[in-house]
Amino acid sequence: MQHQSQPMPDPDSDDTNVAVRVDRISKIFQGNEDEVRALDEVSVSIRRNEFFTLLGPSGCGKTTLLRVIAGFEPPTMGALYLGGRDISRLPPNQRPVNTVFQNYALFPHMSVANNIAFGLEMLGKSKGEIQTTVYDMLKLVQMEHLKARRTSEISGGQQQRVALARALAPQPEVLLLDEPLSALDLKLRRDMQIELKRLQHETGITFIFVTHDQEEALTMSDRIAVMSAGKILQVGTPREIYERPAERFVANFIGESNFLDAALSGGAVRLKAGGPAFAATPPKGVADGEVSILVRPEHGRVRMGAATEGELPATISNVVYSGEATTVHLRLATGETFKAKMSNTPAEDGGSMVQGAEAALSIAPGAVTVLKD
């Protein structure tokens, strides 16, 4: 994770690698008296064949961004490029982009096969070509046996597959998926996550996937964009987003976090609560002085007894046992709290911690992330 250390050529500056480029797009909805800024100067480049996820809390603008890319909402400002071509003004039926809708939106008056054929028919493909493609798609989503059924006569998971097949059949350059799994139960959801990854791999189509489930985002994505209040806060691989969040919101939204006060000077941070100095690379624009740092709970190690050199003195305020792991809540010398997640292995033995006891906290080197705010 030696980010920003050596200048790499930015892969997104080269349009041959970029499937979709969103260039300073804003979308303002006019309300009765107020206006809602659903997208606020969003810029992002989504690469070819990428599984790209938009992640963020409800109302942050994920659906709006998808609808702008699909062409259902004209952006108030900004431009949209598909493979280098400006498509901002194209109507949705002329964009080589297809959508899997959250409620699937299958045509209830058509059979499964006719649903899948619809896009191909509209593109004016020949009968023979439509037939083979529909057959291939049915096979791809394992629905051959139900091709003649009405879409109201199949289960939710099967409808999901038909919606995928219908959107993939015209071979779009980009597939947009708006929380396609949220209506499924947990087990089906797990299966479909694997299925989606397989489909993306087999078709080589760029997927833009919306979810507000952080675990889903981490396990499925090549890259994630974390959004909040109409802005993209950070774009990165799941590891970058989890291990090196740029700001407090991102850290908080993904996984459990400990935020501590520290002082930064010359590439080293020293916690107010004591302990050794840690080497850290601050994000751009963070000057020496008081900073906030992030430590993930699994990077803290607790030992019963008095703190020695390189450890932080603490008291155990709570112990929460959860099977494979134990979360130890600590109170540090500064009054700050720290949650340490210890695995219940013989080596760490998280289960042996005693509430109210004196303890020593050690933080793994390299586990300290300096935040922007």
Ligand X SMILES: Nc1ncnc2c1ncn2[C@@H]1O[C@H](COP(=O)(O)OP(=O)(O)OP(=O)(O)O)[C@@H](O)[C@H]1O
Give me the residues that bind another protein (CB under 8 A), please: 70, 72, 91-94, 97-99, 101, 103, 105-109, 118-119, 122-123, 166-167, 170
**Residue 228 tokens, joined:** 């909040």
Whichever of 97 and 314 has its CB closer to another protein, that residue is 97
DSSP state for residue 56 in the 8-state scheme: -
Q: With CB cut-offs between 5 and 8 Å by kind, which of ligand X, Mg ion, another protein, none does residue 180 bind?
A: none
Whichever of 59 and 276 has its CB closer to Mg ion, that residue is 59
Shortest Å, Cβ 149 to ligand X: 30
Start-to-end C-alpha separation, the chain: 21
Q: With CB cut-offs between 5 and 8 Å by kind, which of another protein, ligand X, Mg ion, none does residue 98 bind?
A: another protein
Total of residues contacting ligand X (CB under 6 A): 12
- C-alpha 285/C-alpha 277 separation (Å) is 21
Handedness of CA 208, 211, 216, 217 (dihedral sign): positive
| 63 closest CA partner among 176, 170, 154 | 176
Shortest Å, Cβ 59 to ligand X: 4
Shortest Å, Cβ 37 to Mg ion: 16
Whichever of 40 and 298 has its CB closer to ligand X, that residue is 40
- C-alpha 42/C-alpha 40 separation (Å) is 6
Q: Which residues of 240-274 are buried (b: 16+ CB within 10 A; e: fewer)?
A: bbbbbbbbbbbbebbbebbbbebebeeeebebbbb
The side-by-side arrangement of strands in the sheet containing 18-30 is 35-47, 18-30, 77-82, 85-86
Shortest Å, Cβ 244 to ligand X: 24
Which residues from 36-65 bind ligand X, rule CB under 6 A?
36, 38, 56, 58-64
- For residue 83, state whether it binds ligand X (rule: CB under 6 A): no
- For residue 63, state whether it binds Mg ion (rule: CB under 5 A): yes
Q: With CB cut-offs between 5 and 8 Å by kind, which of Mg ion, ligand X, another protein, none does residue 101 bind?
A: another protein
Q: With CB cut-offs between 5 and 8 Å by kind, which of ligand X, Mg ion, another protein, none does residue 170 bind?
A: another protein
SS3 235: strand
Residue 86 burial (CB count, 10 A): 12
- C-alpha 88/C-alpha 311 separation (Å) is 56
Per the listing, tokens 């939204």 go with 253
C-alpha neighbours within 13 Å on the C-beta side of residue 272? 15
Shortest Å, Cβ 63 to Mg ion: 3
Whichever of 105 and 263 has its CB closer to ligand X, that residue is 105
Q: With CB cut-offs between 5 and 8 Å by kind, which of ligand X, another protein, Mg ion, none does residue 333 bind?
A: none
Q: Which of 166, 212, 223, 244 binds ligand X (CB under 6 A)?
A: 212
Residues that bind ligand X (CB under 6 A): 29, 36, 38, 56, 58-64, 212
